[in-house]
Structure 1
């Protein structure tokens, strides 16, 4: 099992064997979350909320962390970070909503597992050539031999190797280990640092003092050898750090109870005097404020140079931790300075170093060596160079060391073989000699960027401001100017110049008084677009340096906030948030309250195995049944309400085999909100459901799932759920007496306004094993079908009584049949109110509003409109009534795209559908003032 886990981590790291790896966040430590308290708040304020969640083991994560200092601007406080355990299956969004509702918490996040970045050699790679694999060619490439004439480092300089599988008995490593003589192995914490007998580093994955060899992984041995193998001992090879030593910090588990410990190791290394910290591991995506805090602490509070491998994805992606602030991100090149075939490239890369055919200590035995490859080995070369810079320039801050390394590289963008990656490989390839000797270097840098208004994403037509804080890191500069340019066609820079002037070494400046001004295009922006802006810093004497900052545009959700509700509506059927982590979207709030809807969305079903939704399922994942056909858009004012939103999506058509098990429905969603009195407590949600299969759906179930989180006065959610049969209204409420501290949102619900036979199912989220529906272990398709198909059998039963609980509810309907090509409409009112009476009054007002919403329209006639044979294997005859004798005829696929067209002559048209793929199509006839359609199946 342990070997399988390690293999999985390696495959994730190199981008192999894990479908969809570029689109997903890294794996997380099951059941373990981390939170950060707001300044001035105490853990006691979380007791009730944690109790409701079933959480346990709240403990301060870094009790010995140094307090932030005014002398180090930007330093971070880690003392407010706590970790805790939650029950298996508890959704992150649930925990996040409950804890943020207390007002005492800044963030709640999972703990990600970041994989080591080992990339094994390929038989056809350059690493198989004899003249490379049998020598440390890379030392000459980066001018290490001449650099050692300047300095060989010092045994007091220590690099932290945060990794796994370090063979500390290897002949070329055993004398290079940094020991903690203040804490000898005697069963005591002699140095009072919270770690007992941490004489030789620490094992953060297994929480013991054995940071040494793991027979299943050699990665740490190989990384350590590149940076710190013994020099001048007549054995093996020479580590670039020469006299410098390394601290072994294991971060990968080799016991069943172990967990990834990369960021704990970073904090430890910073607290224990490591001047440089190496991270040859990571993963694509999964940005974490906790991880950024840990790195900021090491780099700013503790002044450590933090170096990370950029990844082995061979794509332009953000890779963490390399892409965090205060990290020197290192990608890889071959011996010819051409980008390594697998190396990641992006605008957050600072520089590159040799990363292919790197001969190092191998790790299977105490005296073995071998050639390895990947950015895992470019990073420790750069980290070791940083140690040598710290020896020659002891007065430098960590940021200045990084600046000197960046500004002394050999430019490789000009090489024709690197043309495709120009601007995405940093300033160039590591040159250690230049880093130690070059004089009169300059580097001014934007150290922070602040957008206002602050949003996760910006909508078409938005305008915003950008404040840049600049620091000069090296020699004084004069005539410094920062010019902002948009590299995206969807963002215009209206004011993009900041004349800084002169800055002394370590001097700072900001354009807060006159920030850059930006405008987002009003239309034409693809969904979820990333726009890149470029800072170009120039100064007298020819200094020029580029940096980049990204912002997200045209998010795949809109917010309806015309009245007292603020509800995010996604393009694929979810309410509140588009993901389980609660990071895409704004949730549901009422009169400025915290979020009251942990998770919500549309459910469709015809059987226990044919269910469509994007709600939670097992393993902390979400189903992905719905696919967007038209982005959610908002109109204000709309033609029928003060705000209107629209979206269109569909699920896949059931196939002949087991591959596809969805319902086969296209959905057009409309939502309406009013600002007028009497209509301020609800939003109407209307779904037009069209059968896009060749079969009659009988029956068809549709409903909305809502996992409510209404806060109690103690910050928890002691909720119950009930059913108002006279109104077809399912609702959730807070148990106990209303107090001012409880806020206004104490009743919330869903009313079925239009559709088939009503259904309701109330769920106790903490139900025991054996319950018909148990969300603690996920929400299976069979359970979802049960909630939709049980009618009102649970109508007289409540969830959460007598003492209150975490509850959810499904309110839906049953339609006896829906023929191919036919449509039906299902409409709900989503309501929130301070009291049950007000909730019921608002539910009645919602029914009245919907009754007058749309005028009645006469159904289109299809008399005389015939097609046959249907289904067809090719030829299709179309016969039209006389008024449409010359009408145009179009054949549309399931996405609404025209795939065939023609014109009827004398009311008859013969179409050959043989070239079309088998499936469902729509035949559309367009005549004067009339549009007629029929479903056609091609076999």
Structure 2
């Protein structure tokens, strides 16, 4: 558990700082995704889904790992993790939605690439000295020589160096390598661990047994030297681990087919007896449940001390893997104990170690040395110290080893040079002597935090509860109290004290019976604000220890969930999620289902090159035409609905930004949801479109793209798309008979309620090469324009028939012209229902609500003008005011088309609306005194 306990945190603002968020996402291994099966589920259940996605077969990632044990609370099961090959054009969001919809999968994620953390040294460093033996200043700084009087470690203690290949023949490393004598090099897997001839570690990047010298990256040799270079051999330098050995595990590719293998190396190290695992690599952002599972397995299941470099960003950011739970996060300092210039600082840093001018093995030759800098070299010093602690305290768990290292540091916050980073450099600078000798150490800490209700972010006015689980790791404590304080002006702690009492070593306590209570401010919170809460643990005898937990406030999206739908609306026109990886947002669910929409959002276009959207483009990228003008806001209740949303965004004016080809429209979006019976299966989406260019847009196309992933009975690609022309309703459904395993059937669709001429384009996502629209290789502007501008031709009304497929659909409209400065409104009903008949009924109800409850213009009642019965099944009687002088009557549908017309005279009219599709219409009566209108509902 880190100094900050992780809720689900967004590291950067999602608003106008969206490019920062994208930049904070590490690169991924192309063509490979990873998933975790739920307990009791089998990979065979996913075969049909993988076939539909065009993905390869599942490969169990860690078949030889240890099962979770009740004797180790919090241990995880890695045997359910599988990887598979993914087609180049497959969006992560698409794969995630399709696989999660089966109910057999916990998560689906990309595999991130974490970079080595090398930082070049300044020219005045000790690397200029010729007497290498006297240049390791840091050994005195951390009291290593005196610590070696206590213990020099042991050759049975092994530190895993997960890094680049190590020069195994180096004079200061060759005698320190841990070999696997149970599997000599003979072409056989003698020890039956799944690795052939893994005598000297393993190369996880290239999948072979050569973990040795790589001329393209010396980082691994340098890290190994700092931790474990040979001591007392009259050569080179002294590694802090002294007699401890190291296991070389290469994680960086040096072949065209290789790929990053850091987390596979961690599992291997844990399974092969490494008591300490060092990770001098990582990246900002990109939180991964898969990576956290791997860390938890190593630290909890296998009781390894997992140590990581905190990063070289010189910023307060979360850096992974260092910021994961169960990792000792190590930042860096200079010889004066001032923070190194580039070192990352944050509340999850546990401690610091020397990280500048670290003299170590170089690795280019068998007898070379160099001075290097960066937290990459602070981390192996802490890892080596952990190995020495394990020698002196063999009964300690990995969590206790980390606690002892934290509680024996030299505090450096009081140094004037570190004032700016006080509280964000952990407990202090590594002191190995204290770690081995100090008695009566105490450390109780919060090991888990649980918020209720559990949400990725909290809105203004929310109230929540926080349960803290506490464990005492070292000597018994008396009178332990946990006090919660908000360091943010936007969160108030209403109840923030927890008396844990007296705890023996490794004993636990929880405040689940009376959790902390918090309230979020009702207004004034900036978008995407991260609020920090501080746990202060105190006990008798002067013990005090601080930890931190963060939560996201006031996110730039809203969720409407007043009825049976729960849909995320983003501030940039998307539905479900704000990003193509489906991580920002809550998706779209129906009656407790999983997410059924992998991607959705508004499309605008005037030509094949003038297209605006935030949807997928090529590969795993998205277009970013729209940017937010105001925060997405939810009102509950609203003036006209139980929940209402207000959003404003726009694209750029064509030609004003280089290489940006957009339409030039500002959008005000309103959305409405009701909890009342008869209105629980739809949400109304209303878009007011304003031309912000100096030219008339003629025509302007607008529509909504939906990539539905409805749950299938057998996981096969059995979705189909269709078009109900009488209602301008595009919908998607599952072919076949529902089964208990898939839950209730779901029909999903969009009905055009207001706008110009309707359009629909149904897409088979797996269409072959040469198809007019082929999502397998991306979604180009020209393809998007085609889907909007092709009307309702019979060939594009359906997709997925007769056998079913993975389908998408665009439901849109053609607006003949929009003059400069003018606005028009386009409205859709987002619908989900268990049957087609119910979907159609909900579509009619949505049209009725839109015409009667959400009138486009509020008109004053006209005396003497009445219509009955309304609703009607056909017959309609109209009474008109005296002296009106009626001339004709018209019935107009929701698309503005006249569907009935008849002459009129006198004060009474009899109309017959039999044959009209159910829905909302407008009665227009034209007379000498003007025009009278009334909304009519046909049942």
Judged with a 3 Å threshold, the aligned counterparts in structure 2 of structure 1 residues 505 and 740 are, in CA distance, closer, same or farther, namely closer
2:304 — aligned with what?
304
Contact 1:570–1:632 (CA under 8 A) maintained in structure 2: yes
| CA apart distance, 1:587 | 1.5
Aligned CA RMSD, in angstroms, stands at 1.9
In 2, Cα distance between equivalents of 1:716 and 1:743: 15
Greater alpha carbon shift after TM alignment, 839-848 vs 361-370: 839-848
Partner of 2:51: helix, strand, or coil?
A: helix
The 1:431–1:232 alpha-carbon spacing in structure 2 relative to 1, beyond 3 Å, is: same
**Take 2:213 and 2:127, find their aligned partners in 1: how far apart are those partners?**
27
Separation in 1 of the partners of 2:645 and 2:712?
32
Aligned to 2:626: 626
**Does the alignment pair 1:692 with 2:689?**
no
Deviation string, structure 1 residues 592-651 (Cα, Å, up to 9, x no partner): 222211110011122222221111111201222211112222222221222211111111
Q: Which residue of 2 aligns with 1:799?
A: 799
Partner of 2:841: 841
Asked which structure has the greater RCO (Cα within 8 Å, sep 6+), the reply is 2
Give 1:479 deviation, angstroms.
Answer: 1.5
Separation (CA, whole Å) in 2 of partners of 1:521 and 1:656 = 39
Q: Where does residue 669 of structure 2 map in the other structure?
A: 669
Determine helix, strand or coil for the equivalent of 2:193. Answer: coil
Distance 1:716 1:484 in 2: 50
Structure 1 pair 707–230 and aligned structure 2 pair: CA distance change class (3 A):
same
| Cα shift at 1:674 | 2.1
Q: SS of the residue aligned with 2:706?
A: strand
Distance (Å, rounded) in 2 between the aligned partners of 1:446 and 1:132: 47
Structure 1 equivalent of residue 734 of structure 2: 734
Distance across 1 between alignment mates of 2:587 and 2:186? 53
Aligned to 2:117: 117
Q: Which residue of the partner structure matches residue 644 of structure 1?
A: 644
Give the direction of change, closer, same or farther, for the CA distance of 1:243–1:581 in structure 2 (3 Å limit): same
Superposed CA deviations along residues 373-416 of structure 1, whole A, max 9, x for unmatched, are 11000000110111111111111111111111111111111111
Contact 1:184 1:197 in 2 (8 A): yes
Rounded Cα–Cα distance in structure 2 between residues aligned with 1:550 and 1:38: 28
Residue of structure 2 equivalent to 1:552: 552
Aligned to 1:424: 424
What's the counterpart of residue 139 of structure 2? 139
Quote the Cα distance in structure 1 between the aligned partners of 2:722 and 2:857.
Answer: 36
What SS is found at the alignment partner of 2:637?
Answer: coil
Q: Which residue of 1 is the match for residue 266 of structure 2?
A: 266
Give, in whole Å, the separation in 1 of the partners of 2:291 and 2:120: 28
Deviation at 1:562, TM superposition (A): 2.2
Following superposition, the deviation at residue 797 of structure 1 comes to 4.5
**Secondary structure at 2:380 match in 1:** helix
The CA deviation at 1:20 is: 4.2
Deviation at 1:782, TM superposition (A): 2.0
1:169 aligned residue: 169
Partner of 2:914: none
Partner of 1:767: 767
CA pair 21-455 structure 1, distance change in 2 beyond 3 A: closer
- 1:822-866 CA deviation, whole Å, 9 max, x = no partner? 11111111111222222222222222221223345499xxxxxxx
Query: What is the CA–CA distance in structure 1 between the aligned matches of 2:694 and 2:718, rounded to whole Å?
Result: 47
Q: Does residue 1:200 correspond to 2:200, yes or no?
A: yes
Where 1:447 maps in the other structure, the secondary structure is strand
Match of 1:321 in 2: 321
Report what 1:679 is aligned to. Answer: 679
Alignment partners' CA distance in 1, 2:312 and 2:21: 13
SS at match of 1:227: helix
Range that drifts further, 787-796 or 390-399: 787-796
Equivalent pair of 2:47/2:57 in contact (CA under 8 Å): no
TM-score, length basis structure 1: 0.87
Q: Which runs of 5+ in 2 are unaligned?
A: 1-17, 860-939
Call closer, same or farther: CA 1:743–1:349 in 2, change over 3 Å: same
Aligned twin of 1:354: 354
**Corresponding position of 2:925:** none
Residue equivalent to 2:218: 218
Task: Give deviations 1:516-547, integer Å, cap 9, x for gaps.
Answer: 11111112222222111111111111111101
TM-score normalized by the length of structure 2: 0.87
Cα 1:356–1:22 shift into 2, 3 Å? farther
1:359 offset after TM fit, Å? 1.1
Do the aligned residues in 1 keep the contact of 2:127 with 2:370 (CA within 8 Å)? no
Report the Cα distance in structure 2 between the residues aligned to 1:332 and 1:179, rounded to whole angstroms: 31
> Can you list the C-alpha shifts for 1:856-913, whole angstroms capped at 9, x where unaligned?
5499xxxxxxxxxxxxxxxxxxxxxxxxxxxxxxxxxxxxxxxxxxxxxxxxxxxxxx
How far is 1:31 from its partner?
Answer: 2.2
* 1:333-732 alignment runs, 5 A limit: 333-656=333-656, 658-732=658-732
Contact 2:673 2:682 in 1 (8 A): yes
Q: Give the Cα separation in 2 of the matches to 1:137 and 1:790.
A: 73
Q: Residue 138 of structure 1 aligns to a residue in which SS?
A: helix
Q: Answer yes or no: is the 8 Å Cα contact 1:760–1:794 preserved in 2.
A: no
Give the secondary-structure state (helix, strand or coil) at the position aligned to 1:805.
coil
SS at match of 1:211: coil
Match of 2:909 in 1: none
For 1:276, the equivalent position in structure 2 comes to: 276
- What are the Cα deviations for residues 154-189 of structure 1, in whole angstroms up to 9, with x where unaligned? 111110000013111111111111000000011111
- Asked if the contact 2:719/2:732 (under 8 Å) is kept, the reply is yes
Q: Write the distance in 1 (CA, Å) between the matches of 2:591 and 2:667.
A: 30
Q: Are the structure 2 counterparts of residues 122 and 613 from structure 1 closer, same or farther at C-alpha, using a change threshold of 3 Å?
A: farther
**Aligned equivalents of 1:680, 1:605: Cα separation in 2:** 32
Q: CA deviation at 1:676?
A: 2.9
Distance 1:716 1:558 in 2: 32
Deviation of the 1:757 alpha carbon = 2.0
* C-alpha distance after superposition, 1:419-460 (max 9, x if no partner): 110000001111111111111111111111111121111121
Instruction: Could you tell me which runs of 5 or more consecutive residues in structure 1 were left unpaired when the two chains were aligned.
Output: 1-17, 860-939
Distance across 2 between alignment mates of 1:40 and 1:322: 32
Partners of 1:374 and 1:491 lie apart in 2 by: 36
Q: 3-state SS of the aligned residue for 2:619?
A: helix
Are 2:127 and 2:359, in contact at CA under 8 Å, matched by a contact in 1?
Answer: no
Deviations 1:488-529 (A, max 9, x none): 111111111111121111111111111111111112222222
Shift of residue 795 of structure 1?
5.4
**Match of residue 191 from structure 1:** 191
- Tell me what 2:895 maps to: none
Per the alignment, in what secondary structure is the counterpart of residue 58 of structure 2?
A: strand
In 2, distance between residues paired with 1:828 and 1:500? 54
CA distance in 2 between counterparts of 1:488 and 1:540 reads 28
Which range is displaced more, 398-407 or 731-740? Answer: 731-740
Distance 1:130-1:609 versus aligned 2 partners, 3 A rule = farther
3-state secondary structure, aligned to 2:175: helix
Alignment of structure 1 residues 864-875 onto 2, 5 Å: none
The offset of 1:657, in angstroms, is 6.0
Q: 1:212 to 1:590 in 2, by over 3 A?
A: same
Counterparts of 1:577 and 1:367 in 2: how far apart (Å)?
55
**Aligned residue-pair number:** 841
Quote the Cα distance in structure 2 between the aligned partners of 1:646 and 1:380. Answer: 52
Structure-2 change in CA distance of 1:855 and 1:723 (3 Å): closer
For residue 742 of structure 1, report the CA deviation from its aligned partner. 4.2
CA contact 2:614–2:624 (8 Å) conserved in 1: yes
Aligned-partner Cα distance in 1 for 2:491–2:461 = 10
Once the two structures are overlaid, the 10-residue window that deviates more, 321-330 or 65-74, is 65-74
- Aligned 8 A contact 2:558 2:632 in 1: yes
Give the 3 Å change call, closer, same or farther, for CA 430–739 of structure 1 in structure 2. Answer: closer
**Equivalent residue number for residue 893 of structure 1:** none
Question: Which string of whole-angstrom CA distances, capped at 9 and with x for unpartnered residues, describes residues 128-151 of structure 1?
Answer: 765998811111111111111211
Contact map agreement 2:307 2:322 (CA 8 A) in 1: yes
Map of 2:257 onto structure 1: 257
